Copies of this chain bind each other. A is one copy, B any other.
């Protein structure tokens, strides 16, 4: 079994975060373009290896497809935080033309996630498993923030 095959057998179903991304993509699929696609195929664009990253220029503007990928990632974070805490979250992605910016998830007056984005043209992770791990980590940090500052999250 090759390395690629090992990676592709990582179970999407085992990660609530990856499931949340898939739901995001399917919810926005008004024309049914992806209806026949597997979850793994939908998530494939999130896997960008280091070698692939080097080949993506960061000179140009961030293309709409990459922007959509980043937005779906953070909307999935927001959904997972909502599921864990019962608090509604908002997502704002602010990207300059040069691929710099902010990814913000907030809830009341509390910033659940505040991440600077750099070289957003290259947004992605080494493997699907790392995508899942990174997502779950951000979700957990967000949940912790709400538990630490419950009043700000309500306000």
Contacts and interface: CB of A to CB of B under 8 A. Distances in A.
A41 interface: no
A92 to B, nearest CB: 5
Q: Which residue, A92, A93, A151, has most C-beta atoms of chain B within 10 A?
A: A92
The CB with the most chain B CB atoms within 10 A, among A104, A111, A149, A155, is that of A111
Interface in A67-121: 90, 92-94, 102, 104, 106, 108-111, 114
Number of copies: 2
Contacts of A109: 110-111, 114, 145, 149, 152
Contacts of A104: 92, 104, 106
A148 interface: yes
Question: Which of A90, A104, A108 is the most central at the interface, judged by chain B CB atoms within 10 Å of its CB?
Answer: A104
Main DSSP-derived SS at the A contact region: strand
Contact of A152 (B90, B92, B94, B110): B110
Contact of A155 (B90, B93, B148): B148
Given A111-B111, A149-B152, 5 more contacts: A90-B102, A104-B106, A109-B114, A110-B111, A110-B152
21 contacts: A90-B102, A92-B94, A92-B104, A93-B94, A94-B94, A104-B104, A104-B106, A106-B114, A109-B110, A109-B111, A109-B145, A110-B110, A110-B111, A110-B152, A111-B111, A145-B155, A148-B151, A148-B155, A149-B151, A149-B152, A152-B152
